[in-house]
Amino acid sequence: MAAQYQGRIDHTEDSIQALFQAQYNTYRLGLVVVTAVAGVALAAAGLFAPVPVLAQGLLLLAGCMLFVGRDFPAIVRAESVIEARHGVLPSSVCTFCAGHMELEEGGVKKKLRYEQLDRIVQDRQYLYLFFGPDSVVMVERAKIEPGTAEQVMDLVSQRSGKQWESAFSLLTFNIRDILRIWDNRKAGRKGQPRGGKKPASGRGGKRAR
C-alpha cells in the first residue's frame, strides 16, 4: 500500500527524557498521582501541624522531594539509556500507510499493525504510539511530511480504533485522568494469571529506545 505520511525522530537527550516520562506517566499514572498527593500532604503537615520546627522542616523537605520526584524512576531510566549510548542517540523513520506502519531504524525495517496499538498519546512536540509499556514508536510533530500531525493522528485513530490521550500533567488533572487510572487497574488485573502463577513464556516486543 502506498505511504500516506512519514514521520521522523532524531533523538536528543530532551526527547529521550520526554519518551521515558511519557511511558511512566501513561502506564504508572496511579503511582504518579499517589506520590504527588503524598508529597502535598507532607508539605501541608509541615506548614500547619503543631510540631517542632525541626519536624516541620523535615516534613516540608520530604513533601517537596516526593512531589518533585514523582517521575524520578523515568528520569533514572532515561539517564541510564543516554549514558549507555555515550551520547550517540538513535534516529528513526515511521511510514504511515493506509493499512500498516513501517518503522525504520539503523537500517532495519519492521512492519507494524495499527490494531496492535495499546495506547496513543500526544503532547505539544511528539506523538507516542505504545504497543505496550516497553514498546513504543515516537514521532516528532514538526518532522511529519507530507501533511500535518493532525492528519497522522486521524489516520492512526481510525485504523487502530483508539482515542488519542493527552500526556499527563498535574496542572490539567481531571476526571478523565481518574478514569485512566481505573482503566489501568482493570487492565492490570486482566493481565494477571489466575492462582498467581506466571506464564512459562511470553511474546517478545519492541523495546522503547
Q: Would you say residue 196 lies in a domain?
A: no
Q: Would you say residue 202 lies in a domain?
A: no
Please give the model's pTM, rounded to 2 decimal places. Answer: 0.66
Q: Would you say residue 125 lies in a domain?
A: yes
CB 78 within 8 A of CB 16: yes
Q: Which helix (H) or strand (E) holds 79?
A: helix 72-84
| pLDDT per position as a tens digit, 86-107 | 778 889 999 999 889 999 998 8
Q: Would you say residue 193 lies in a domain?
A: no
Total domains present in the chain: 1
Angle made by CA atoms 108, 113, 114, in degrees to the nearest 5: 130
Q: Which residue has the higher pLDDT, 68 or 180?
A: 68
pLDDT of 25: 83
Residues 29-42 as b or e (16 or more Cβ within 10 Å = b) = bbbbbebbeebeeb
| pLDDT per position as a tens digit, 152-192 | 999 999 999 999 988 755 444 444 444 444 455 555 555 55
pLDDT of 169: 52
Q: Would you say residue 195 lies in a domain?
A: no
Q: Which residue has the higher pLDDT, 188 or 17?
A: 17
Query: Cα–Cα distance between 31 and 29 in angstroms, integer?
Result: 5
Phi-psi region of 22 (alpha: psi -120 to 50; beta: other; left: phi over 0): alpha
Mean per-residue pLDDT of the chain: 76
Q: Would you say residue 78 lies in a domain?
A: yes
Amino acid at residue number 182 = W
CB 118 within 8 A of CB 130: yes
Domain that residue 89 falls in: 3-187
DSSP conformation letters of 17-44? HHHHHHHHHHHSHHHHHHHHHHHHHHHH
